[in-house]
Amino acid sequence: MWWAAALPLLPLALPMAVRTRRTALRLAPAAGVCEGIAGGELAGEPFRLLLLGESTVAGVGASCLDFALAGRLASALSGRLQRPVAWRAVGENGITAGEACERLLPRVAGQDYHLVALVFGVNDTTHFSSSQRWLGALAQLIGHFRRRGTRVVCTAVPPLQHFTALPWLLRQLLGWRATLLDRQLSVLALAQGAGYCGVSLEMQPQFLAIDGYHPSALGYQVWGEHLAQWLEPDGRSELAREPAAH
């Protein structure tokens, strides 16, 4: 259905896409190391958190990962759990979920975490990944961590219709496609025993970085706190449950 609507508009949309790619402001990933500890002054064994995904996991739009999604989520979880949170961010700018299975998963495959957050969707939207490849890659990622007894949460596909770096027509077309992938993600997560955290935040201009495409430091803070708040209703005992031994 999406292709049926999009094909007549491609003569207009494709030149826009080429021009946008050529002229878009490109921000570097966040500086610094890709792991850290939030709430180090608190007692108890650290809660182990992994974020795996695309440019937002790499912290594009923030000065360092402490101020990106990984650091903000770890800080919010530490406050709610009242224990240290040892976080690791394994992300790559421009990567799709399928590519992550090949390049990112081997880097963390033998490690155990209490919680893994999978953050994908923008690049699968703009790269026009097929539903089969999109869902197959996510199922592989979820299945790997679930078999290790790890809790998995999938974050929603970001709403590209609010990305101001894109011309209006591209925002509408890609936003619609992102919504379709997001619906598929929510169904898959439920079927695979993973969590799914949708977007219920009001999108505001200050939540975007100067490139109009990635979150700002404030956007990451609000996103991290929202995700931590969504996780809490499942119970602190569930969050703190130890992964199965391997």
pLDDT per position as a tens digit, 147-190: 999 999 999 999 999 988 888 788 888 888 999 999 999 999 99
Total residues found in the chain within this entry: 246
Per the CB < 8 A criterion, the answer to whether 53 and 124 are in contact is no
Q: Which residue has the higher pLDDT, 188 or 200?
A: 188
Per the CB < 8 A criterion, the answer to whether 144 and 136 are in contact is no
Pairwise CA distance, residues 59 & 56, whole Å: 5
Domains of the chain: 2-239 (3.40.50.1110)
Write phi, then psi, for 233 (nearest 5 degrees). -55, -25
Q: What is the full DSSP assignment across 57-106? A: TTTTTSSBGGGSHHHHHHHHHHHHHTS-EEEEEEE-TT--HHHHHHHTHH
Q: Which residue has the higher pLDDT, 36 or 24?
A: 36
- Whether this prediction's pTM lies above 0.85 is answered by yes
Q: How many percent of the chain have pLDDT more than 70?
A: 85
244 burial level (CB within 10 Å; 0-12, 13-18, 19+) = exposed
Pair of tokens at residue 21:
């790619």
Pairwise CA distance, residues 171 & 185, whole Å: 20
Per the CB < 8 A criterion, the answer to whether 163 and 125 are in contact is no
Neighbours of 162 (CB within 10 A): 16
The three-class DSSP label of residue 86 is: strand
